[in-house]
Amino acid sequence: MRYVDASHGALLLATMPLWTLIISRFVARESLSGRQVVGVLTSMAGVAIVMADRSAAASGSSNSAFGNALLVGTAICGATYNVLAKRMLGRYAGLTVTFYAMLIGTLFLAPAPIIERVAIRNALVGETLAMVVFLGVFGGAISFSLWTSALRRLSPTEVAVYINLNPISATVLAAALLHEHLSSAFFLGFVAVASGVMIVNWTRAQ
């Protein structure tokens, strides 16, 4: 996110359901239907509409090949997590899988402050510390626990398509808290994303 604008980043992360679909089909041998493919592509189109509209309204947008590669890599990592976590959930509880995944992830990231030469006592004070705790609890522990719990009940593709509700929710919050304008393009994109989610999960609603 240091190298590309938020709208462009959200669009690249919206490819996660597509990568999940591909990995599920060719690695995990998940049985996929044409309906699921159409649903994933429809939801991605919805995100593209919303983010293109927001990007056009923004000024000073940034973009770089390095940033693009990092975000595509993030989407592929998320897709891989979906597929592998689904396998582990056949033997372990969702909370157990989430705990060990976050523990190992924390240990892996522990050297980062040393590498970047950031003093913890100076970096995490006051408001910054509160923001980090908020992100760790709500953006990390709780969100991943809910996501993993969903994987126990749905296939990786059925879960991954919900990621495309993130930029839609962010746009709504921006309108509510920052008084940004919601254009007709947003409502068209919202309908496409919601339709894609319902198409992918249609059999679950019957």
In 3D space, the residue among 50, 74, 59, 77 whose CA is nearest the CA of residue 5 turns out to be: 59
Q: Cβ contacts of residue 193 below 8 Å, gap of 6+?
A: 42, 43, 46, 47, 50, 164, 165, 168
CB hemisphere CA count around 4 (13 angstroms) = 20
Whether this model's pTM surpasses 0.85: no
pLDDT at 122: 57
Rounded distance between C-alpha atoms, residue 46 and residue 165, angstroms = 10
Question: For each of the chain's 206 residues, which pLDDT tens digit applies?
Answer: 788 776 677 778 888 998 988 888 887 677 777 888 898 889 888 888 887 776 666 655 566 888 888 989 999 999 999 988 888 888 888 888 888 888 998 898 888 877 766 555 555 567 777 888 888 888 888 988 899 889 888 888 889 999 888 888 877 887 788 777 778 888 888 899 989 988 888 764 44
Asked if 43 contacts 14 with a C-beta cutoff of 8 angstroms, the reply is yes
